[in-house]
Amino acid sequence: MSTKNEEKIVAIRVEMTQDLRNRFKSLVVREGRNMKDVVVEFIEQYIENREKVNDPHSSKTEL
């Protein structure tokens, strides 16, 4: 039973070359992390940066 504070977890699928996936996995493993956490962190940072850029009230002018 879920509470109102819990968000539903969903999956996305990203297709890439095997070489790119292997290089990514190798790097995150060396950092003691996992691919899911790194991808989620990237998406969160991307959203935060893009929302700042697209916010008409933001003083930032970076792209």
- 44 inside domain: yes
**pLDDT tens across 33-60, in order?**
999 999 999 999 999 999 988 877 765 5
pLDDT at res. 2: 57
**pLDDT tens across 7-37, in order?**
999 999 999 999 999 999 999 999 999 999 9
Task: Identify residue 47 by its one-letter amino acid code.
Answer: I
**pTM, whole model, 2 decimals?**
0.72
- 46 inside domain: yes
What's the total number of domains in the chain?
1
- 48 inside domain: yes
- 31 inside domain: yes
Domain hosting residue 34, numbered range: 18-54
pLDDT at res. 53: 87
- 59 inside domain: no
- 28 inside domain: yes
